[in-house]
Structure 1
């Protein structure tokens, strides 16, 4: 991610020709180049040496710049399920899997009768954008599934795609789906999104 270090010389004022020649001089032919709304450039490299050259760049064409690694596009998250890892800590698992690109491990827990119980499901973060189909856990080969985060849901109106801080509609009850009331809701379970017989937070909501 390349951005201008000077407000007086934004990258957005450079012509497409100057931009192309600038990147060509630093890193050769890149896999892709995209100008973002704020005027910075998002580039995808084909080779590690291209990324290394770009990260050393402090001047681009005729202006100072900042170059950094994108926080999310250079990593991927997957899910594994393995009973044989039940007695190992997250740190121990991460250390054993580092050679396979694992940089973070998070074990899923559930609450039962007020107690937090660890499960055999683990979220793994890899230091590469392409998720491996499987990893080697000692003598085992374990399948890696794509991690799909829960969709963003507003706790005010219960709709998806925004947070309560940006909500501009009437608050809804999470139980009956009607306008929110102060007293404890005793109405029937009705999802305000799909109108099904369940709370709006139900994981099986369609």
Structure 2
């Protein structure tokens, strides 16, 4: 075999839809026909190598969570307004550091690295493995996100989506349009961020006992920026944009809110009798049911349960004010109490101790203290009460002849102002 010629193809059994074609650099390359499955192509590649290719040398598929995160921008812009929030979580949990990210320990890391622009009360816990940092400006937040020391110490920083995006619902969109066609045909007004993604709302219909999803003309749009437009334009038509309110999702496995049964990782909890088993296999009727949240005689998945109504109101506040769930939930107290709270507030039943009767005391257990009355003040010798009373009894006010208070001659005229003034002055002086 000549050294300038390519080597002979390997003696292997190839699928009928795959052919080998020589190349000038590496002997043979594999050119699969479009109709060949991808699994056949991977099988041939492994057969022609002594060792299979490791995962490090191949292009891995990007996870869905990372794909969703890449759709949003990673920095604040000059048009963004406060608050400038950044969420931080651990990339790899260190067993020695525990399973939670403590805000005070993370604050020590921030002081040690001397990051600037952090508010005095800016670090808060927003989850077991996540903290929130509030900066005084968008530039300081961007410097923290792009800092290499954050990744070197095993942290991942990102801007929360609710702080830089707005979600709205647009109706009357043709059902035969794809999501790419929707984004391409919709035009936003000036001063509004671009449309990041679109999602069509599907309607669930039961056909022969099986669910089928039918597309509707309503589409959920995600806009970049902190302003939600009142309307957008599509093919010379104005479309009204309404605020998108997050749905109230409840798990039928653990009865908690925020996820579905397919995503649940908790122990089962019956939504009929609140015991530790699945609700699908429970035979308790609705009349004998017991709600986990409000202790009422209905299923825990009842739409008119106080806790379900509370969760719906929280989602409305989240959509209107663009705040996270933890902050919105502070405005609505929980509709249920823990066992410790109930035992403190409610008295013990009488059947637990029937031998003793409850008696209420009629007297106070505190000792009553009486103080002596104060003595009357002693009058000074300069004041004689009896002499004063006798003077008042003997004194008689003389009657005025002319009807005036000032006693003067009957011939004097009081029409003169100067005369009256002199009399008043003499009275005051004397």
Question: Does the C-alpha gap of structure 1 residues 23 and 17 become closer, same or farther in structure 2, counting only changes over 3 Å?
Answer: closer
User: Alignment partner for residue 143 of structure 1, among 217, 232, 241?
Assistant: 241
Measured in 2, the distance between the counterparts of 1:94 and 1:31 equals 42
How do residues 19-34 of structure 1 correspond to structure 2 at under 5 angstroms? 22-24=114-116, 28=117, 33-34=122-123
Shift of 1:203: 9.1
Name the structure 2 match of 1:124: 221
Shift of 1:142: 1.4
Question: Does the C-alpha gap of structure 1 residues 143 and 170 become closer, same or farther in structure 2, counting only changes over 3 Å?
Answer: closer
Unaligned 5+ segments in structure 1 are: 174-178
Measured in 2, the distance between the counterparts of 1:202 and 1:109 equals 21
Measured in 2, the distance between the counterparts of 1:84 and 1:107 equals 9
Kept in 1, the 8 Å contact 2:255–2:300? The answer is no
Higher Rg: 2
Unaligned 5+ segments in structure 2 are: 1-86, 274-278, 310-430
Shift of 1:5: 8.1
Name the structure 2 match of 1:92: 181
Kept in 2, the 8 Å contact 1:75–1:125? The answer is no
- Pairing 1:104–2:204 present: no
Measured in 2, the distance between the counterparts of 1:31 and 1:146 equals 34
- Pairing 1:83–2:179 present: no
RMSD, matched Cα: 4.8
Shift of 1:149: 2.2
Measured in 2, the distance between the counterparts of 1:123 and 1:156 equals 28
Measured in 2, the distance between the counterparts of 1:123 and 1:102 equals 10
Q: Deviations for 1:54-102, whole angstroms, at most 9, x for unmatched residues?
A: 2221237xx8464521454445453424214444322222344587332
How do residues 167-182 of structure 1 correspond to structure 2 at under 5 angstroms? 167=267, 169-170=269-270, 172=272, 181=281
Name the structure 1 match of 2:140: 50
Worse-superposed segment, 103-112 or 63-72: 63-72
Q: Deviations for 1:26-69, whole angstroms, at most 9, x for unmatched residues?
A: xx466972143768652234654333322221237xx8464521
Shift of 1:116: 3.4
Measured in 2, the distance between the counterparts of 1:134 and 1:140 equals 10
Kept in 1, the 8 Å contact 2:196–2:223? The answer is yes
Measured in 1, the distance between the counterparts of 2:147 and 2:171 equals 44
Measured in 2, the distance between the counterparts of 1:110 and 1:117 equals 5
Kept in 2, the 8 Å contact 1:133–1:143? The answer is yes
Measured in 1, the distance between the counterparts of 2:156 and 2:255 equals 39
Name the structure 2 match of 1:176: none
TM-score in terms of structure 1 length: 0.59
Name the structure 2 match of 1:154: 251
Shift of 1:144: 2.3
Question: Does the C-alpha gap of structure 1 residues 136 and 32 become closer, same or farther in structure 2, counting only changes over 3 Å?
Answer: farther
Q: How many pairs align?
A: 190
- The structure richer in helix per residue is 2
Worse-superposed segment, 29-38 or 47-56: 29-38
Q: Deviations for 1:131-175, whole angstroms, at most 9, x for unmatched residues?
A: 515241234141221321223x231364657766424644638xx
Secondary structure in 1 matching 2:240: strand
Kept in 1, the 8 Å contact 2:220–2:244? The answer is no
Measured in 1, the distance between the counterparts of 2:173 and 2:129 equals 49
Kept in 2, the 8 Å contact 1:58–1:66? The answer is no
Question: Does the C-alpha gap of structure 1 residues 127 and 17 become closer, same or farther in structure 2, counting only changes over 3 Å?
Answer: closer
Measured in 2, the distance between the counterparts of 1:172 and 1:4 equals 38
Measured in 2, the distance between the counterparts of 1:84 and 1:40 equals 38
